Amino acid sequence: MRDRMVVIISGANSGIGRAAASRFASAGFHVVMACRDLSASRSVQQEIIEKSGNDNVSLLELDLASLSSIRHFCSTFRQTFDQLDVLIHNAAYLKHGVKTYQLSPDQIELSFATNLIGPYLMTKLLMEPLRKSSDARILHACSTNIKHFFDPKRKIEFDNLQGEFKDKRPYSTYKMYGDSKMALFMMTKRLAEELKPDHIQVNALQIPATQISKRTIDNLSPIWRTLAVLQNLFNPLPDEVAECYYQICTAEKYANLSGHLFNKQGEVILPGLSKPDPLTQAKQIFGSTYYPAYADDPDTIQQVWELCTKWAQH
């Protein structure tokens, strides 16, 4: 099967993923919506087909937190599609206010399972169709949340990823989300090196606060729901980030860039200084041109890589 460019977008039923699916469909791509709730996603699929006038919008089941679901998704995809041009790891787990330790079906902390291990395994299992594209591009949805690592004391909590300290340390999905997104950026850098010989580019986008979908808001506790509704009054629509996904994954000017973190303006974010003066530190934290130096720590990158490769073998 090969008459148009193919893109997979995880979490394409809601928020930024949904806007991105619409953007790629309007541009004539064959869009594969990788979603965990098929019944809720069918109406979105239909809406995208009607709005874009493009019938080539498929819906495939994927629970990114489950290794067996990822294997099943990738095998189904490979049976139908020969080639993959764009792979957008957009779906993520974050549920504000959750304080009870969350484990995936494979017994790894849920943010790490969904936001790091899942995307890594999925990419690995899709290497064959990606290699067949002449300009394959992978994009990871990172977050401004990683700015918390400008605090030199902040480190990824590697020793509590299977609930080792679940009864002794306070758990916050927000903290684990930030750790998993930093790990995702580190994995991006390492994966970009690994995929150089295949000419497959891998980048990450640092997404700032953006309007949250009604579906996600409805799933929050009353207090977080109210806060999310209020925040939505000030935050931009998901379409802005979706356009950024589209540009990074298709525009000629990004064709030879790999292993980078981009900001919403499409600029490469640079490594911050590890011991900045207070003014530079303020610029690093509040601007969108620097990322925390911690992201370049080779030992931590290696630790993230070993975590991904170990779990992908389960």
Binding site for ligand NAP (CB under 6 A): 10-11, 13-17, 36-37, 62-65, 90-94, 114, 141, 143, 207, 209-210, 212-213, 215-216, 238
* Residue 133 vs 178, nearer CB to ligand NAP: 178
The residue among 63 and 109 lying less far from ligand NAP, judged by its C-beta, is 63
Q: How far apart are CA 201 and CA 254, in angstroms?
A: 9
The whole-angstrom separation of Cα 121 and Cα 67 is: 8
Q: How far is the CB of 19 from ligand NAP (least distance, A)?
A: 8
Q: Which is nearer to ligand NAP, 70 or 133 (CB)?
A: 70
CA torsion sign for 141, 83, 59, 77 is negative
Q: CB 96 → ligand NAP: shortest distance, Å?
A: 11
From the CB of 279, what's the least distance to ligand NAP, in Å? Answer: 26
Q: How far apart are CA 173 and CA 113, in angstroms?
A: 13
CA distance 307 to 164: 15
Distance of closest approach, residue 141 Cβ to ligand NAP, in angstroms: 3
CB of 104 to ligand NAP, least distance (A): 8
Nearer to ligand NAP, 213 or 258 (CB): 213
Question: 46-70 as b/e, with b when 16 or more CB fall inside 10 Å?
Answer: eebbeebebeebbbbebbbbbbebb
Give the nearest residue (CB) to ligand NAP.
Answer: 15
Q: Minimum distance between the CB of residue 175 and ligand NAP, rounded to whole angstroms?
A: 14
Task: Output 13 or 250, the one with its CB closest to ligand NAP.
Answer: 13
DSSP codes joined into one string, 164-218: TTTTTS---HHHHHHHHHHHHHHHHHHHHHHTGGGT-EEEEEEE---PPPHHHHH
Minimum separation from the CB atom of position 196 to ligand NAP (A): 25
Q: Which is nearer to ligand NAP, 75 or 280 (CB)?
A: 75
Considering the complex, state which of residue 63 and residue 133 has its C-beta at the smaller distance from ligand NAP.
63
